[in-house]
Chain A
Amino acid sequence: MNRAVLLFGLLLAIALPLSLLAGRVWLWPDATPNAAIILAELRLPRALLAVIVGAGLGAAGAAMQGYLRNPLADPGLFGIAPGAALGAVVALWFGYTASAWLLPLFALLGAGGAMALLAAIAGRTGGIALFTLAGLMVASLAGALTALAISMAPNAFAMSEIVLWLNGALTDRSWREVLLAAPLVGLGVLLLWRTGKSLDALTLGEPVARSLGVNTGALLWTLIAGIGLTVGASVAVAGIIGFVGLIVPHLVRPLTDSRPSQLILPSALAGALLVLLADSAVRVLPFVTELRLGIALSLLGAPFFLWLLIRMRRGLE
């Protein structure tokens, strides 16, 4: 247990109950009419979903950066999130949204397909370069198919639904999404957490990690499964929420000793905190229609990425 786990755990424990009060209508449990129903049916599942999605994306980002030994790696770059998004878009395209289970199911199938493709191409050799290239290709293929689906949407309604959905959000989510995502993300975070020791060994490069007894092939499979579960389930219930996996490990790393194994759990907690705060903020902002969470986090994430690049450049000079 490191201090980053304690810090982010504590902050999350404070932020979670407070976030339940925040919204277009500030909620005072003893004064607001129907407060109990609003809390139980709307705000609590939404807050829990923010925590689950954020935890999955944060842990996936930390594991990804550890595996690729690159602080600029983001789980969104490697095909699984675009694959899940493609699955959801297919469901929207065909209008399979009458049953609330179908869209997340299609998204999970999309994530599973991307995982299988990644594993088939890169899983046997366990090479990092091959994995990265395969991921980028899967991502660009899924992106192209998504764009194709948008351009050939059967009607304007389907098109606007797809575009809206792609900018992830937690609006109008219920306990159903919580129950769907929680076990998948939980299992995914557990798998990623278990790779910690091997990721520490990878700090010294792949040959040394192998000489230390790390089975790099098994490590890659575990990572693909862990990232597929966390990111796939997150996209299935919330759409594309970018940059969390990129930003969070950077916020956490200075509070740890930089070993990848020490980063995964605090990144899960910090990711949960970030998405919870961002979702509370978009609820409170006085816009006519609620700002989409995916857009808000991208608006936050892109400048952060640029700042990171500038800081890295200064470090090199």
Chain B
Amino acid sequence: MTLAAQDLSIGVRLHDVSLALEPGKITAICGPNGAGKSTLLKAFAGLLQAHAGAVNLDDSNLATLHPRERAKRIGYLPQAHEIAWDVPVRSLVELGRMAHGDTRAEPVDAAIAALNIEPLQDRRAQSLSGGETARVLLARVLAGEPAWILADEPLAALDIGHQLALLRHLRAAADQGAGVVLVLHDLAHAMNYADRVIVLSDGRLAADGEPEAALDVSTLQSVWKVDAQWIGADGKRALIAR
């Protein structure tokens, strides 16, 4: 089970990126604004056309895969939490089953239970707070039982309690075998919670590896142009300016 980019170039935003994602792990994509993080994530979700190179799911090119087949295996959570109509919360979670052509209760209930949103499922979408909406929309992705979960800044606009809870849910999904890929702005979250960090700079791969190595002081200096240092123990790191 692989999801890999090969010599991938998209417009002016991404140049010659080659990397293979791993199932069962949390991979964080980091980089300054405009580095191409969301573009790379959308390309992995099959939502962008490559100008050169390709994204391959197992052995098939994502661009030639039927949209429904792709949707069964890759779940995508964008940064914007758009919900146009005041629909029932449970129907939003059920949308995750769309590619499967069913609204089977079992995976929907499992996703609702995994994110502890049972009390919300009879409410309407527009009555939800920001944190509740984030959980409901992640439940929508989980209900599709995808092999890959791609989320664009899922922690943005959430308070620290909801951020940590969401990270716990994503870790649980990775522990069950899903490949979790997150665009993260908060480098401390990437350092403490990811298994692997990919750093992009100006649309190119700047670093790739375990968090300690990919986010070392010299990378912070060369990519983000900041003079900063990590403090604290393993798994509880914080970044401060020097």
Contacts and interface: CB of A to CB of B under 8 A. Distances in A.
Contacts of B217: none
Given A69-B85, A211-B71, A257 B91 contact: yes
Main secondary structure of the interface of B (DSSP, over half): mixed
Main secondary structure of the interface of A (DSSP, over half): loop
Contact of A259 (B67, B68, B85): B85
B137 A204 contact: yes
A203 interface: yes
A210 B67 contact: yes
Contacts of B137: 204
Contacts of B88: 257, 259
Contacts of A210: 47, 67
Nearest to A260: B85
Given A203-B83, A257-B87, A257-B91, A212 B98 contact: yes
Given A214-B67, A215-B67, A207 B85 contact: no
Contacts of A203: 83-85, 87, 92, 95
Interface stretch (A13-21, A25-33, A194-202): A194-202
A207 B76 contact: yes
B86 A258 contact: yes
Which among B68, B87, B96, B144 has the highest number of chain A CB atoms within 10 Å? Answer: B87
A205 interface: yes
A204 B76 CA distance: 11
Contacts of A197: 98
B76 A211 contact: yes
Contacts of B42: 207
A303 interface: no
A213 interface: yes
B68 to A, nearest CB: 4
Interface string B166-177: 000000000000
B80 interface: yes
Contacts of A69: 84-85
B78 A205 contact: yes
B54 interface: no
B76 to A, nearest CB: 4
A258 B126 CA distance: 11
A260 B87 CA distance: 9
A213 B96 CA distance: 10
Nearest to A202: B84
Given A211-B45, A213-B68, A205 B80 contact: yes
B99 interface: yes
Contacts of B144: 212
A260 B98 CA distance: 15
A211 B77 CA distance: 9
Given A207-B47, A211-B45, A257-B87, A201 B98 contact: yes
| Chain B interface category by residue count | 20 to 34
Interface string B86-107: 1110011001101100000000
B82 interface: yes
A213 B84 contact: no
Interface residues of A, number: 20
Contacts of B124: 258
Which among A211, A214, A215, A257 has the highest number of chain B CB atoms within 10 Å? Answer: A211
Contacts of A214: 67, 98
Contacts of B83: 203-204
A152 interface: no
A208 B47 CA distance: 9
Contacts of B71: 211-213
B85 A213 contact: no
A204 B67 contact: no
Contact of B74 (A204, A211, A258, A260): A211
B189 interface: no
Interface in A176-225: 197, 200-205, 207-208, 210-215
Nearest to A213: B71
B15 interface: no
Contacts of B82: 204-205, 208
B75 A211 contact: yes
B204 interface: no
28 contacts: A69-B85, A197-B98, A200-B87, A200-B91, A200-B95, A201-B98, A203-B83, A203-B84, A203-B95, A204-B82, A204-B95, A205-B80, A205-B82, A207-B42, A207-B47, A207-B78, A208-B76, A210-B67, A211-B45, A211-B47, A211-B75, A212-B71, A212-B95, A213-B70, A258-B86, A259-B85, A259-B91, A260-B85
Rank and list the top 10 A-B pairs by shortest CB-CB distance, nearest first. A213-B71, A211-B76, A69-B84, A213-B68, A213-B99, A205-B82, A213-B67, A258-B85, A212-B98, A203-B84
Interface of B: 42, 45-47, 67-68, 70-72, 74-78, 80, 82-88, 91-92, 95-96, 98-99, 124, 137, 140, 144
Given A208-B78, A211-B47, A257-B87, 20 more contacts: A69-B85, A200-B91, A203-B83, A203-B85, A204-B84, A205-B82, A207-B47, A207-B76, A208-B77, A211-B45, A211-B46, A211-B74, A212-B95, A212-B144, A213-B67, A213-B99, A258-B124, A259-B87, A259-B88, A260-B85
